[in-house]
Homo-oligomer: A and B are copies of this chain.
Amino acid sequence: MNPRNSLNFSGGPGVLPESVLRQAQESVIEVPEVGLSVLGISHRSDWFAAVVSELETNVRTLLGLPNDYHVLFLQGGATQQFSMVPMTLLRGRGRPAEYLHTGYWSGKALPEARREGQVRVLWTGETDGFRRLPSDAELCFSPDAAYLHYVSNETVEGLQFHRVLGRDDVPRVCDMSSDFLSKPCEAERFSLIYAHAQKNIGPAGVTVVLVRDALLKDVPDDLPGFLDYRTHVQSHSNFNTPPVFAIWVVLLVTRWLINEIGGLARMAELNRTKADLIYNQLDSSAGFYRGRAATADRSTMNVAFNLASPEMEKRFLAEASGAGFSGLSGHRAIGGIRASIYDGLMLPAVEKLVGFMDEFRRRQRNVRVSETSA
């Protein structure tokens, strides 16, 4: 196995578990029970129908999802959902949708929603540079909203909600792209959850949508087939050729979560342990490493931080790369450093990173001391 994969802290597409990569690799030449490359198996085959069916069951099992939810596997990423959600739930409704603007990705959802109807931005962190999330006291949810939309984990800024927002009488719609299947999420309190695969659960190219059946009662009838959730419900995510390989790898990840990890509560513990290690390193660095996010809103998936200067950050990234780490550059929108510690990034890799951070910090202090004494 390639050791660099295990030290891949990329914000996405992210690292996948070693056992998943090994099975995915084998399947490119042969899926044993079919005898063919996964890349050449028909999406209308019994094998693929079983893949989708098992994957749906695994997602239900992991989340304890009630039966009145559909589990869909679509294309187009979260970006397509930024449009599909308001096309389905806002167009022609005459009621506003409520959106939270908590970072880069929730901001991307706004213009697409505004094309379809009235959008009420309940709170924005833009003036603060997206360094914290709103408290309950800052949010006033209306009972007349068409729905509430928010992003559970802001990948770029490293901000994560550690509670469910909104009212029970207004449908909650949540973009969980970067923390889906990283912990239990009280899925039954949401009407629609979407998450693209390329953080925790698979390669780029597939998006999971969980949608409560009751939400699809009044869908506009003028939507193109591929933008109508009902089309995908009726066809069991096989309306047109789905991304077979990506869906297959997501199945492998859910098997790993169930059989090797032992479920989402255990996954959450592991993710909390990994995150604490890095945040403790930030907090004990006497300001050498400066976490971006307010302490209460820190993400267990993306740890975003800065060093004293862009030059120091550049040196950190260069030395980290030399030590075998990848993907630690912050998102191009804000720069800095970001350690993404998705499900597939294992504890030993985090321990190694923290060791490197500690050692780098001491080395820089010694450089400063020797520069001062020189």
Q: Are A36 and B332 in contact (CB under 8 A)?
A: no
Point out the residue from B1, B39, B326 that lies within 8 Å of A13, measured CB to CB.
Answer: B39
| Interface residue A358 (Cβ < 8 Å from any Cβ of B) | no
| Interface residue A242 (Cβ < 8 Å from any Cβ of B) | yes
Which of A218-226, A259-267, A273-281 lines the interface with chain B? A218-226
| Interface residue A97 (Cβ < 8 Å from any Cβ of B) | no
Q: Which of A215-245 contact B (CB under 8 A)?
A: 222, 224-227, 239-245
| Interface residue A285 (Cβ < 8 Å from any Cβ of B) | no
Q: Are B16 and A37 in contact (CB under 8 A)?
A: yes
Q: Are A41 and B29 in contact (CB under 8 A)?
A: no
| Number of copies of this protein chain within its complex | 2
Q: How far is the CB of A3 from chain B (nearest CB, A)?
A: 9
Q: How far is the CB of A100 from chain B (nearest CB, A)?
A: 20
Quick one: closest B residue to A243, CB to CB?
A: B205
Q: Are A240 and B77 in contact (CB under 8 A)?
A: yes
> Which chain B residues border A83 with CB–CB below 8 Å?
224-227
> Which chain B residues border A245 with CB–CB below 8 Å?
203-205, 245-246
Q: Are B222 and A115 in contact (CB under 8 A)?
A: yes
Q: Are B13 and A40 in contact (CB under 8 A)?
A: yes
Q: Are A29 and B37 in contact (CB under 8 A)?
A: no
Given A11-B42, A13-B41, A326-B36, check contact A241 B204 (CB 8 Å).
yes
| Interface residue A8 (Cβ < 8 Å from any Cβ of B) | yes
Q: Are A243 and B243 in contact (CB under 8 A)?
A: yes
Quick one: closest B residue to A1, CB to CB?
A: B29
Cα–Cα distance between A243 and B198 once the two chains are bound (Å) = 10
Quick one: closest B residue to A76, CB to CB?
A: B75
Q: Are A204 and B243 in contact (CB under 8 A)?
A: yes
Q: How far is the CB of A291 from chain B (nearest CB, A)?
A: 22
Q: Are A205 and B75 in contact (CB under 8 A)?
A: yes
> Which chain B residues border A19 with CB–CB below 8 Å?
none
Q: How far is the CB of A18 from chain B (nearest CB, A)?
A: 9
> Which chain B residues border A77 with CB–CB below 8 Å?
75, 240-241
> Which chain B residues border A5 with CB–CB below 8 Å?
29-30, 36-37, 40
> Which chain B residues border A227 with CB–CB below 8 Å?
83
Which of A20-28, A131-139, A163-171 lines the interface with chain B? A20-28
Given A79-B240, A80-B226, check contact A249 B39 (CB 8 Å).
yes
| Interface residue A297 (Cβ < 8 Å from any Cβ of B) | no
Cα–Cα distance between A242 and B245 once the two chains are bound (Å) = 14
| Interface residue A196 (Cβ < 8 Å from any Cβ of B) | yes
Q: How far is the CB of A367 from chain B (nearest CB, A)?
A: 29
Digit string of A48-89 for contact with B (CB within 8 Å is 1, else 0)?
000000000000000000000000000111111011000000
Point out the residue from B8, B28, B112, B115 that lies within 8 Å of A40, measured CB to CB.
Answer: B8
Point out the residue from B205, B225, B327 that lies within 8 Å of A42, measured CB to CB.
Answer: B327
Q: How far is the CB of A180 from chain B (nearest CB, A)?
A: 15
Q: How far is the CB of A328 from chain B (nearest CB, A)?
A: 11
Q: Are B224 and A115 in contact (CB under 8 A)?
A: yes
Given A8-B40, A244-B204, check contact A24 B28 (CB 8 Å).
yes
> Which chain B residues border A42 with CB–CB below 8 Å?
10-13, 327
| A-B CB contact pairs (8 Å), 18 listed | A2-B37, A4-B30, A4-B35, A4-B36, A5-B29, A13-B43, A16-B39, A21-B37, A21-B39, A40-B327, A44-B332, A75-B75, A76-B80, A78-B240, A83-B226, A111-B225, A203-B244, A245-B245
